[in-house]
Structure 1
Amino acid sequence: MKKRVLSIALSLMLILTLFCGVATPAFASDSLNAVPKNVTVLTGGKTMNFAGYNIEGQNYFNLRDFAYSVNGSSKQFNITYDSSSKTIHLWKGKAYSANGDELKAGDGTAKNAKAISSKLFLDDSKIKFTAYNVEGNNYFRFCDIMQLLNIYAVYDDNAKAIVVDPSKDYTVQFQKTVESGYFDFLHGALLGNSDTGEILYSNNEEQKLSVASTTKLVTFLLIREAIDAKNLSWEDDVILSKTAEEYSLSEDGVIPMKAGQKAKLHDLMNAMLIVSSNESATALAEHLYGTEEKFTEQMNKRAKELGLSSAEFYNPHGLPVYTPDVLSSKKQNRMSARDLFELSRYVINKYPDILDITVKTELSAESLNFTDENTNRLLFQMDGIDGLKTGTTNRAGCCLIATMPVKTGDSTTRIIAVILGAEDSTERAEKTGVLLQYGKEYYNK
């Protein structure tokens, strides 16, 4: 699906991005059309022109231009590339080493852009952002660099330029962003306080929507309650079924499984939450109630007990279910953004140990002989995130429930953001991050 072009007038939410002219890293095989898109930037009283390209509807700009523009300030950073490990490092607080290629516009013609497959690091922490290489130079979105390096920027309507102020920290002009329609074309969005239930922002919060793998929070809850009741144990050996094997072999499979294979319950729980393993959710459901169908009955029953009136479940994982009719109906688990928020509050407050799982950036499941990175991209983008769950189907779009603790005066509270129906993982992470940043600023003040 074509990505929406976000207006440059969206202050720091601008989808502008920068260009990194370090040595050429490894790339993904597919190339995209990159249309020239330069931008005027005002920094420290100087006017500069950043070279950039529009790629699939979003603007990407020269990271070296940005590094050059803030060099000598408290926000300065350097860029290095390690050819042996194919890693790009951004080093905060380090003086930028210019190479003479900064602030040079292209020739005005469209180019081929390739997605960067190098490993990206901010200091020694791995980060994940969409970035492209065009003719040996790497390009990133402006708003991503602002968040990464804690730099303030805003679009000046009069100057028709982006004003970067390295003396200020990254902040969200939230009301202006909301008024611009930034959240309007999602299926639903909500930001609230986990401790008090206060809602700071919502859009289409009551509509019953497809929720994909965010469903797995209910599956976690039922398994966790069964462990509390001593009906299950974290150390249980779970015998994987033919159904779990079939899911693993499907296009939605995550972890290879074989019927009759044994797996530890704690590995299945981790796999379900960290890499959103559908086959793990099925194995857990069958381990507790024998079949997916019986487990799903309990899911719906528990949802009613919790007052989640919009909840409607067909399975423990969130994939579509097709009726056997010739004209088959495609059913999907559904909830409202508000009920997902309330479910998340309940689960976190009752079982805060879920955050010990969802904060992990990588799964290592020994009994499944499987490792992989967390599907929650925001963990690699924003400090303080410790959960919670992703979800994606064609109908649900890209969904994310994310949470973090924030300071409020001398104490700490917890906020939860819900995004439903984003177009891709980039948009869902960005917009969830904006909600959480607003929540952090709201309580910090």
Structure 2
Amino acid sequence: MNLTKKGFLGFLVFSLLLMFVSPSTPYASAASAGINLNVKSAIMVEASTGKILYKMNENEALPPASMTKMMTELLVLEAIKSGTKKWEDKVKTSEYGYFMGRYGGSRVYLGMGEERTIKELYEAMAIYSANDATVMLAETLAGTEENFVKMMNQKAQEIGMQGTHFVTSSGFPAEELGEFAPSDTSEHVMSAKDAAILAREIITKFPEALQISSIPKKWFREGESGQVKMDNWNWMLPELVYGYEGVDGLKTGHTDAAGYCFTGTAERNGIRIITVIMGAGSEAERFGETRKLMDYGFSNFKMMSMLPKGQTIDGFEQAEVKKGKELSVEAVPEKEVVLPVRVGDENNYKPVVKFNEVMAPVEKGQAIGKVNVEYTGQDGFEFLRPTDEQAAQINMVANQEVEKASWIRLFFRAINSFIAGIFGGIVDTISGWF
């Protein structure tokens, strides 16, 4: 074998090796991003679109501690919205609630038979992470915590949380629940990605939840015997010790198994981000690592209007119309397309339009296709879920009416097309002779 052949074979082997060791995903930059976090897993997403801006071990299922309560919050909020429960509904404390009021970590010391409203219990859970309030909400919605946990796991599947399994409503260690320990002895886990999905569900569908999660302190049983001062465990609220501008949620968590966890959210300059860190080593570290993420997010990304509502897109101004008086119709985006964009990367996006087969008559505002804004640079982004990516596709709609053509118009149009087709064929044939 000569040197030329040996060199070619060596190059071929090297190229094949590169194919196997190179990252298989186009989203590597979102994973590295130059941030060094001392946590087990983390993720950062833009809230309105679900686009991932940073990720690290985001699919690893880990103990979430009290971040579990975000699911309890979501189910309570849904019950209130549907009308099956009201904020003013009274809840009588059961033996389980009383047990948690004595031994359940963060708690508001619910007394046996004590009655409190759903609103009071929700605030105790969302602000103070009260475990006794949480289990009473679970029992109120489902009769027993066991039934409620089934609802939690079902909802997790519905919204695309693939790395989650709940065992309790609060995230309190099941082995410490004594006679109230669940029969399910499997692991209670949630991934950072799933925590972001859950937080986004709350923020986008129930933004009013942030009005409660942003309360720095509140009294439980205010003015009554046994009042409890509830200091918010989210110390990144602007008024508290690790205050950060724009932070208004969402949920902390800590157990020996989970370490220190935090699902945070903040809004600045028109962009809202959600951050999740799991497995930090201390109270201060979970907020410090979150600050790193938020600093990176707000410094490097901004929301940008890509396509204005109701304005034509260059190259996609018209859609073909079949059997219409006119042969085409002006097409425009149904609504404005706004996306998170890396600063300095604004020109690496292009609209991609796919029109449907449009048949007359056409009404103004009728959906006639889809438009998606694709990233053309080297470092792409992914979405939390396929449904979020699908939601990023916006309808293209007709900007005018097109009436159906009469049969006589269609007849002569067909004759013209036929003659044009014959003439074109003759020209092609003659051209072929030369």
Higher strand share: 1
Matched with 2:198 is 343
Matched with 1:385 is 247
State the Cα deviation string for residues 18-60 of structure 1 (Å, max 9, x = none): xxxxxxxxxxxxxxxxxxxxxxxxxxxxxxxxxxxxxxxxxxx
Give the conservation status (yes or no) of the 8 Å contact 2:264–2:276. Answer: yes
Q: 1:255 to 1:331 in 2, by over 3 A?
A: farther
In the superposition, the TM-score normalised over structure 2's length comes to 0.57
State the Cα deviation string for residues 113-157 of structure 1 (Å, max 9, x = none): xxxxxxxxxxxxxxxxxxxxxxxxxxxxxxxxxxxxxxxxxxxxx
**Ranges in structure 1 where 5+ consecutive residues have no aligned partner:** 1-173
Give the conservation status (yes or no) of the 8 Å contact 1:296–1:316. Answer: yes
SS of the aligned residue for 1:386 comes to strand
Identity %: 33
- Residue 424 of structure 1 is aligned with which of 257, 260, 282? 282
- Residue 232 of structure 2 is aligned with which of 371, 374, 378? 374
Shift of 1:422: 0.5
Matched with 2:367 is none
Shift of 1:253: 4.1
Alignment of 1:14-413 (within 5 A): 182-183=36-37, 185-250=38-103, 252-322=105-175, 332-366=187-221, 369-379=227-237, 380=240, 381-407=243-269, 412-413=270-271
Shift of 1:301: 0.8
- Aligned partner letter, 2:234: N
Shift of 1:287: 1.0
Q: 1:293 to 1:344 in 2, by over 3 A?
A: same
Shift of 1:289: 1.0
In the superposition, the TM-score normalised over structure 1's length comes to 0.56
Give the root-mean-square deviation of aligned CA atoms: 2.4
Shift of 1:363: 2.3
Shift of 1:364: 2.3
State the Cα deviation string for residues 421-445 of structure 1 (Å, max 9, x = none): 0111100001101111111112354
- Aligned partner letter, 1:297: K
State the Cα deviation string for residues 65-122 of structure 1 (Å, max 9, x = none): xxxxxxxxxxxxxxxxxxxxxxxxxxxxxxxxxxxxxxxxxxxxxxxxxxxxxxxxxx
State the Cα deviation string for residues 153-211 of structure 1 (Å, max 9, x = none): xxxxxxxxxxxxxxxxxxxxx99x975x731x411111110111111111100111110
Matched with 1:46 is none
Give the conservation status (yes or no) of the 8 Å contact 1:193–1:416. Answer: yes
The answer on 1:441 being equivalent to 2:299 is: yes
**In 2, Cα distance between the equivalents of 1:403 and 1:283?**
27
Matched with 1:29 is none
Q: 1:324 to 1:371 in 2, by over 3 A?
A: closer
Matched with 1:40 is none
**In 2, Cα distance between the equivalents of 1:193 and 1:382?**
18
Q: 1:393 to 1:438 in 2, by over 3 A?
A: same
Shift of 1:365: 2.6
- Aligned partner letter, 2:54: Y
Give the conservation status (yes or no) of the 8 Å contact 1:320–1:332. Answer: no
Shift of 1:231: 1.0
SS of the aligned residue for 2:150 comes to helix
Q: 1:236 to 1:251 in 2, by over 3 A?
A: closer
Shift of 1:225: 0.8
Give the conservation status (yes or no) of the 8 Å contact 2:123–2:212. Answer: yes
**In 2, Cα distance between the equivalents of 1:399 and 1:280?**
21
Matched with 2:408 is none
Higher helix share: 2
State the Cα deviation string for residues 366-391 of structure 1 (Å, max 9, x = none): 37732221001111221110000000
- Aligned partner letter, 2:94: S
Give the conservation status (yes or no) of the 8 Å contact 1:212–1:332. Answer: no
**In 1, Cα distance between the equivalents of 2:124 and 2:164?**
24
Shift of 1:334: 1.0
Shift of 1:413: 2.1
- Aligned partner letter, 1:283: M
**In 1, Cα distance between the equivalents of 2:125 and 2:193?**
23
**In 1, Cα distance between the equivalents of 2:285 and 2:42?**
12
Higher-Rg structure is: 2
Give the conservation status (yes or no) of the 8 Å contact 2:167–2:184. Answer: no
**In 2, Cα distance between the equivalents of 1:372 and 1:340?**
24
Number of equivalent positions: 263
Matched with 1:414 is 272
- Aligned partner letter, 2:300: Y
**In 1, Cα distance between the equivalents of 2:77 and 2:106?**
24
Give the conservation status (yes or no) of the 8 Å contact 1:216–1:281. Answer: yes
Matched with 1:59 is none
Give the conservation status (yes or no) of the 8 Å contact 1:211–1:334. Answer: yes
